[in-house]
Structure 1
């Protein structure tokens, strides 16, 4: 007799969809949504997420046909601010990315983080049964595994980190380091994109807790907590359909025509200081400055998804990027042609894939990134085996996507050189590199990632 499949309950701060005002549906942006929505569509289950007060990166859509249920946590006022803007994004986000000088521990409300995590835990428990799988996502909810465990000792609990995990010398800055580690050890399986991140976590446990770390895992209160490295991917089948859709192909041709058939360099990023957008703009300006003819041959299309602009650091970054785009266009534009086309909004997936298919070069140059699925999507979109990916060596994706041209994004002059190399690359090398990229992207399908992780969780 076949064993009944356990229900999957995903818990994250941001969900894929929410309904606002009757028939209005909103889809959120971001890599986590890209990864988890197709998994739940295929498997079914429940997605527990918060209702944001403001979501700058969302897109209004027709009512989706969801194969899973939605459950929401409603955080109010100062609690949400202390949890989200405070601990999560003023402290944990920069610290886990290695941006120690930007953290603001003194302004963070630890009590709000604790109470918000308790609300997520309570909602997850209410949405799940004793035999269900509870899969918690990311740095916002590092206490939830332990909080769920205290109420349901036999629960199957997983947690996945979608961003980097730093070494102990960096993580140790946190005043709540022990509490966060203890919270995470409530899980059965802790997932990371790369072995490097998983090893850093184990080193943190060794240094800051008394729990033994063995080759099999971390011994914690009579259980063995496993750490696994599973790089996330994209939904390959869906992406392949978009890559060969004739209507999207026509949209791509229109984009190229609008650009005056110049070679197109494409950047797609959420507004964030980890993404290296000012450094990228400086590198592109270097290309224009060194080669006067470049302004008639090349165009940079920068899509920037709004994010956290009520946080001062992000508002300041937005102003800096606006200024740089204006300066570059003011200095190098010619009548009827501007070098930088700046789209400050979220694009639908169809529009995004039209841009991928139109672009000769994709610039994915974060200063630090856990994975970066834009790199995967660009390769998946290029069924024509054309296009070049310029990829930061500090993105997790660089460990797998060997067909990319790797750059150090802090080295602006080197990035300028990489752009020029990509734009002038011979067709046979472009094809060889893109074939290698596409092969790896197809292997790293999001369903492979989810199936592998869930199998590890069910095996505990």
Structure 2
């Protein structure tokens, strides 16, 4: 069996992976423990001066962690700059927020080349290389330049924009050429795959051979043949179900239950980011209270939004906006014994969140654009099947492609989301149970293990050839 080499922007060491308990870290660790291999990437540390000369290696059985510290210049240009101020807004359809300059693009390319330089000596000829996310699109091309012929796969965890948006990037063609250096490119949804295929058709001399019901396509472009395929990421459904059964009785969950004093609970959990649609979500909750005043003093909305990228101006602005909105809405509707919105800028561990999900009557997941959004799946998995809550889900989340039994909404339609909240809060038990059971069948069938094995199996079988020189 070939050894697996996983490359990601951040590497979760064993202890961190256990704390994260779910998501990408769990999937990667399970795959690496099965095949043996390397998990390579940034350590998360920023150091003065130049980036680390050689990777720090930590062995754990058949698994080796290899991490690199980044110098401040590299971190600023590669991570804060091109990755998160250019590609992130572009891939989330936010052209007005894109910052484009040659310095950060060069930094992005430089760090990808630096990572390739440091990984290449660690590789074996029969390794399979699995690269993750928008930070590392050029990485496979950099390895090819160094003569690496191993099978290489890439998985994009964000949406992929249509060509009409992607071409706003001055060097979009270079970026797609780099993406075509991989043998397998994975996306969350058919919409993302279609955007990639449409670019190949309209902006290159390449060809696209559709396979199945637009679940995969053979791409021939830039002298390469590769497979592009849909692999919707998921959660460790069984483990989360088990955790939620006990977490609902935890000390924190009991404190939350007591604080509600019999009121119903709507919950949202999101990293503080402009892609999550939080201002629109706050406005929709306000619309609920305004249009259906019977919910005043009977429903509370808990929004957990830990801050991220706190030195990026757009994130500073949205944090300020949400604080002002929460204060205004609470000032308008609050009673002396009831605060409509509980807005928390802090993170909680998975056990605590599982308990909160278990208590919540409505899960409100309304991003303006999202690759998948695992919170939607986590909320459903944590529900009590005998008395489940209702998921209100944005049509622009990747999860909506699999979770049609949720109440699907347009997050830009504030009144429509308010009406969906009313429907969720008044939905009969029988309908709630039917919807929840259908959602759980999908989550049990297509869990994180299914995602991991599907991708690795496809990479094992992927056709590949080498660049034309």
TM-score by length of 2: 0.88
Gaps of 5+ in 2: 47-59, 211-216, 463-469
1:50: which partner in 2?
42
Q: Output the CA distance in 1 between the equivalents of 2:96 and 2:381.
A: 36
Question: Are the aligned partners of 1:160 and 1:192 in contact in 2 as well (CA < 8 Å)?
Answer: yes
CA distance 1:277–1:400, change in 2 (3 Å): same
Question: Are the aligned partners of 2:42 and 2:70 in contact in 1 as well (CA < 8 Å)?
Answer: yes
Q: Output the CA distance in 2 between the equivalents of 1:36 and 1:25.
A: 9
1:356: which partner in 2?
357
Following TM superposition, by how much is the alpha carbon of 1:263 offset from its aligned partner in structure 2, in angstroms? 0.5
Gaps of 5+ in 1: 55-64
CA distance 1:148–1:46, change in 2 (3 Å): same
Pick from 451, 459, 469 the counterpart of residue 457 of structure 1: 459
Q: Deviations over 1:382-432 (max 9, x none)?
A: 143511000001111111102100110001111111111101111111111
CA distance 1:208–1:189, change in 2 (3 Å): same
Following TM superposition, by how much is the alpha carbon of 1:296 offset from its aligned partner in structure 2, in angstroms? 1.3
Q: Output the CA distance in 2 between the equivalents of 1:374 and 1:427.
A: 23
- 3-state SS of paired residue (1:75): strand
Following TM superposition, by how much is the alpha carbon of 1:308 offset from its aligned partner in structure 2, in angstroms? 0.7
Following TM superposition, by how much is the alpha carbon of 1:191 offset from its aligned partner in structure 2, in angstroms? 0.4
Q: Deviations over 1:82-120 (max 9, x none)?
A: 111111111111111111111111476111000111122
Q: Output the CA distance in 2 between the equivalents of 1:356 and 1:416.
A: 20
Residue 399 (str. 1) matches residue 391 (str. 2) = no
CA distance 1:173–1:307, change in 2 (3 Å): same
Residue 212 (str. 1) matches residue 213 (str. 2) = no
Question: Are the aligned partners of 2:23 and 2:448 in contact in 1 as well (CA < 8 Å)?
Answer: no
2:104: which partner in 1?
109
CA distance 1:10–1:330, change in 2 (3 Å): same
Pick from 3, 7, 19 the counterpart of residue 7 of structure 1: 3
Pick from 155, 162, 186 the counterpart of residue 160 of structure 1: 155
- 3-state SS of paired residue (1:341): strand
Following TM superposition, by how much is the alpha carbon of 1:237 offset from its aligned partner in structure 2, in angstroms? 2.7
Q: Output the CA distance in 2 between the equivalents of 1:67 and 1:416.
A: 51
- 3-state SS of paired residue (1:232): coil
CA distance 1:83–1:18, change in 2 (3 Å): farther
Following TM superposition, by how much is the alpha carbon of 1:33 offset from its aligned partner in structure 2, in angstroms? 4.2
CA distance 1:32–1:107, change in 2 (3 Å): farther
Q: Deviations over 1:222-258 (max 9, x none)?
A: 6521111111111123212212226756653442222
CA distance 1:237–1:82, change in 2 (3 Å): same
Question: Are the aligned partners of 1:402 and 1:436 in contact in 2 as well (CA < 8 Å)?
Answer: no
Q: Output the CA distance in 1 between the equivalents of 2:430 and 2:450.
A: 31
Q: Output the CA distance in 1 between the equivalents of 2:182 and 2:108.
A: 18
CA distance 1:29–1:331, change in 2 (3 Å): farther
Q: Deviations over 1:114-147 (max 9, x none)?
A: 0111122233324432211110011111100111
More displaced, 90-99 or 199-208?
199-208
Following TM superposition, by how much is the alpha carbon of 1:36 offset from its aligned partner in structure 2, in angstroms? 3.8
- How many residue pairs match? The answer is 442
Question: Are the aligned partners of 2:244 and 2:383 in contact in 1 as well (CA < 8 Å)?
Answer: yes
**RMSD over equivalenced CA pairs, Å:** 2.5
1:416: which partner in 2?
418
Question: Are the aligned partners of 2:289 and 2:295 in contact in 1 as well (CA < 8 Å)?
Answer: yes
Pick from 5, 12, 15 the counterpart of residue 16 of structure 1: 12
TM-score by length of 1: 0.90
- 3-state SS of paired residue (1:154): coil
1:121: which partner in 2?
116
Q: Output the CA distance in 1 between the equivalents of 2:249 and 2:13.
A: 24
2:266: which partner in 1?
265
Aligned pairs (5 A) from 1:48-197? 48-53=40-45, 68-106=63-101, 109-197=104-192
- 3-state SS of paired residue (1:204): helix
Question: Are the aligned partners of 1:369 and 1:396 in contact in 2 as well (CA < 8 Å)?
Answer: yes
